[in-house]
């Protein structure tokens, strides 16, 4: 099944990457690896993420491949990547921030390298012209441990939490090519980008309640679901904005 899914994505899906207006897109793979035709729907539930969310309530978020595909495409647009570029990440692939890197490589037709924090610099030395996706604390540690390294050929994409003022100053002082983002598991990745201030990404909107809680809405969450404590699936398109206290 894993091999079949990879073939669908690598050999057939990228032909249709820009056809975002299609409501339902099906593929029929006749290679008969499983002994019969296999159908693959982009908008069908494909990935389950376990998260506590901003409010600390454990839940399961279900995303379709189309959600993750759109999120990956939007982030590459914000990064303004126009050439083939490999991706290096110390983030786990069972997290939405890590798994999105796999989808980004489909657009870039490049390779994904997963590494540990301690081996990150070693991976960069082998491929300095890479996109590195990590959380702000990991970048701050990398810059502190390598104060004389310029990183002129490397792009950094940050997520998970807001970068500290100290990190922002380090990025600007050393002319590091970095972009910070804000997002949630529920929104299939980033919904806003920026270093000192955030700008909503395409098709994302924000509202602020009197209590200071931020409401977030993204069109790509229309095909995802939250399972609440009663195990009831709640389609996000019927629930309006997410409430986040971050």
pLDDT in tens, 148-159: 999 999 999 999
pLDDT confidence band for 16 (50 / 70 / 90)? very low
Residue that wins the pLDDT comparison between 119 and 70: 119
**pLDDT tier, 51 (very low <50, low <70, confident <90, very high otherwise):** confident
Quote the pLDDT of residue 56.
61
Q: What is the pLDDT of residues 103-114, one digit of tens each?
A: 999 889 899 999
Q: Which pLDDT band, with edges at 50, 70 and 90, does 181 fall under?
A: very high
Q: What confidence score (pLDDT) does residue 220 get?
A: 60
Q: According to the model, what pLDDT value does residue 98 have?
A: 92
Q: Which residue has the higher pLDDT, 61 or 18?
A: 61
pLDDT of residue 155: 95
Encode 157-169: b = buried (16+ Cβ within 10 Å), e = exposed: bbbbebbeeebbe
User: What per-residue confidence (pLDDT) applies to 161?
Assistant: 83
- What pLDDT does 201 receive? 82
Average pLDDT of the segment spanning 177-201: 87
Residue 235 pLDDT: 46
Q: What is the pLDDT of residue 33?
A: 37
Q: What is the mean predicted confidence (pLDDT) over 74-81? A: 90
């Amino acid at each position: 099944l894993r091999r079949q899914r990879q073939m669908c994505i690598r050999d057939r899906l990228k032909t249709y990457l820009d056809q975002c207006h299609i409501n339902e897109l099906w593929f029929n793979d006749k290679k008969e690896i499983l002994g019969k035709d296999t159908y693959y729907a982009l908008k069908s539930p494909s990935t389950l993420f376990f998260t506590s969310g901003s409010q600390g309530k454990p839940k399961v978020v279900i995303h379709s491949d189309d959600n993750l595909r759109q999120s990956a495409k939007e982030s590459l647009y914000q990064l303004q990547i126009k050439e083939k570029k490999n991706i290096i990440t110390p983030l786990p692939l069972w997290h939405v921030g890590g798994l999105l890197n796999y989808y980004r490589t489909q657009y870039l037709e490049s390779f994904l390298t997963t590494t540990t924090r301690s081996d990150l610099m070693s991976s960069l030395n082998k491929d300095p012209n890479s996109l590195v996706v990590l959380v702000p604390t990991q970048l701050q540690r990398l810059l502190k441990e390598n104060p004389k390294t310029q990183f002129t050929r490397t792009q950094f994409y940050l997520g998970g939490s807001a970068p500290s003022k100290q990190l922002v100053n380090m990025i600007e002082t050393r002319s590091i090519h970095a972009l910070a983002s804000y997002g949630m598991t529920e929104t299939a990745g980033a919904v806003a980008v920026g270093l000192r201030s955030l700008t909503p990404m395409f098709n994302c909107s924000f509202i602020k309640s009197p209590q200071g809680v931020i409401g977030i809405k993204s069109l790509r969450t229309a095909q995802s679901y939250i399972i609440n404590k009663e195990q009831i699936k709640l389609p996000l398109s019927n629930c309006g904005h997410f409430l986040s206290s971050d």
